[in-house]
Amino acid sequence: MKYDIIVIGSGPGGYVTAIRASQLGFKTAVVEKESLGGICLNWGCIPTKALLKSAQVYDYLKHVDEYGLKAEAIDKDFDAVIKRSRGVADGMSKGVQFLMKKNKIDVIDGFGKIKTGKKVDVTAEDGTVTEYSADHIIIATGARSRQLPSLPQDGKKVIGYREAMTLPQQPKSMIVVGSGAIGVEFAHFYNAMGTEVTIVEYMPNIVPVEDKDVSKQMERSFKKSGIKVMTNSSVESVDTSGDGVKATVKTKKGEQVLEADIVLSAVGIKTNIENIGLEDVGIVTDRDKILVNDWYQTNIPGYYAIGDVTPGPALAHVASAEGITCVEKIAGLHTETIDYGNIPGCTYATPEIASVGLTEEKAKEQGYDIKVGKFPFSASGKAKAAGTPEGFVKVIFDAKYGEWLGCHMIGAGVTDMIAEAVLGRKLETTGHEVLKAVHPHPTMSEAVMEAVADAYDEVIHL
């Protein structure tokens, strides 16, 4: 069967790409070996947020007295929490099925492997192989949990994020290795549900890609909630021969052995580029990534790649944007390249983290003369009334021209606030323009304006 465009993989990169291609008039098909929506909808972004919401509600219930309320016999049902999360994921996957039908996109079930001549072999579950062809083939096969030699995953005692979402019973203790978004989100969830959690992070700070002030605040908040944090540390080996797991951890003070029911490995991702025909077609890769140009074309005409398999940030919204850019370029539309310096990052633990642009440290390294403003949520009327005074908004501006270089937030609901900074930076706004844009009161978002005011020595409420 012949198509204009075949997309391999139906995650937030793949299915969005397919829909935009169909909107542009291309006869489109999607190849998917598992569930529509990919990892994000089924085993990542969406079901983890459902788990975190359950943890948030449970935490509220445990602290109702702080809101002048009373509740007795507060408890949790771990199985029901997991079941709710899976239900949300299943509903979202069915939503993607509906979108495929609505946009007249053919869904081909099976494992896709590219061939020369712009062809794709799809192996069905029963082993049957069917060949398809297209003018354009877009690879969007995503990534999976990365395994370290010192931390082999057995799916039971040493697990990845997929198993962490469907454990048959809640562990009494857990070691989380790695403190990126996946690590801290699961650390928060299990801690909130009552599991004793220890984070082991190789770098000097947890959430190491964030501004150092944000990392320090997150560590304080986690320690306050009872999570043990070990930085400048690495797991050298694990022993799963007993009832639980013994992890040998190397620290600056020497080695120590930690014991827990389960170890969660959250040390990054590994791209799904094996056995998909890259070598047969001659597509160039480097360090586990498919190399592409600004329009996501590989070195072989007619073959493209987007999302986690390419060198850009491994984020769902990036994959979606790349796919849209890719097919709009194929269609001959006037389109802009993606500004990877203006990609927001969000972490959905409690407190939440959201950031975009340069950290203070990076801005200085790049030679900027900067103005830095910071406004704590402890001075926010809305945050105090909501009982969520932890965290702050931090902004960084170029002192010479007023360019908004970076924005870093930690606190309740900040993942819904960061878009102001992303849009402002896209429109090349200046600090004074943000300051003079009237923000509503009382809101969490007015902390952005207050932080800008602090940068320009005009802050009122601090």
As given in the structure block, the two tokens for residue 258 are: 């930690």
pLDDT at residue 229, as a whole number:
97
Placement of tokens 């310096």 in the chain: 341
As given in the structure block, the two tokens for residue 176 are: 């989380």
Euclidean distance between CA atoms 159 and 145, whole angstroms:
9
Residues forming beta bridges with residue 29, ordered by sequence position: 6, 106
* Torsion sign over Cα 286, 290, 295, 297: positive
Please indicate whether residue 432 is annotated as part of the active site.
no
pTM for the full predicted model: 0.94
pLDDT at residue 268, as a whole number:
87
Please tell me the total number of residues recorded for the chain in this structure.
462
Annotated binding site: 49, 112, 178-185, 201, 268, 308
* Domain parsing of the chain, residue ranges: 2-145+270-340, 158-267, 351-455
Could you tell me the fold of the domain covering 351-455?
Answer: Enolase-like; domain 1 (3.30.390)
Euclidean distance between CA atoms 447 and 434, whole angstroms:
12
Q: Which residues touch 211 (CB under 8 Å, ≥6 apart)?
A: 355, 359, 360, 361, 394, 406, 408
Torsion of CA 396, 397, 398, 400, to 10 degrees: -140
Annotated binding site for NAD(+): 178-185, 201, 268
Placement of tokens 């080996």 in the chain: 237
Class of domain 2-145+270-340: alpha beta
Residue 196, number of CB atoms within 10 A of its CB: 16
Q: pLDDT tens digits for 258-304? A: 999 999 999 989 999 999 999 999 999 999 999 999 999 999 999 99
* Domain 2-145+270-340 shares a fold with domain 351-455: no
As given in the structure block, the two tokens for residue 71 are: 């509740």
Backbone region of residue 275 per phi and psi (left: phi > 0; alpha: psi in -120 to 50; beta: other values): left
Choose, from 63, 432, 441, 461, the residue flagged as catalytic.
441
Q: In the chain, what is the straight-line distance between the N-terminal and C-terminal CA atoms, in Å?
A: 66
**H or E stretch at 55:** helix 45-62
pLDDT at residue 40, as a whole number:
83
Rg of the chain over all Cα atoms, to the nearest angstrom: 23
User: Which pairing describes strands 392-398 and 370-376: parallel, antiparallel, or unpaired?
Assistant: antiparallel
pLDDT at residue 54, as a whole number:
96
pLDDT at residue 352, as a whole number:
97
Euclidean distance between CA atoms 339 and 76, whole angstroms:
44
Query: For the chain, which residues score pLDDT lower than 50?
Result: none
Closest C-alpha to 405, from 371, 447, 375, 432: 371
Q: Which residues touch 384 (CB under 8 Å, ≥6 apart)?
A: 378
Q: pLDDT tens digits for 293-341? A: 999 999 999 999 999 999 999 999 999 999 999 999 999 999 999 999 9
pLDDT at residue 1, as a whole number:
85
pLDDT at residue 223, as a whole number:
96
Burial of 357 (0-12, 13-18, 19+ CB in 10 A): buried
Contact status, residue 89 vs residue 46, Cβ threshold 8 Å: yes
pLDDT at residue 305, as a whole number:
98
- Does domain 158-267 fall into CATH 3.50.50.60? yes
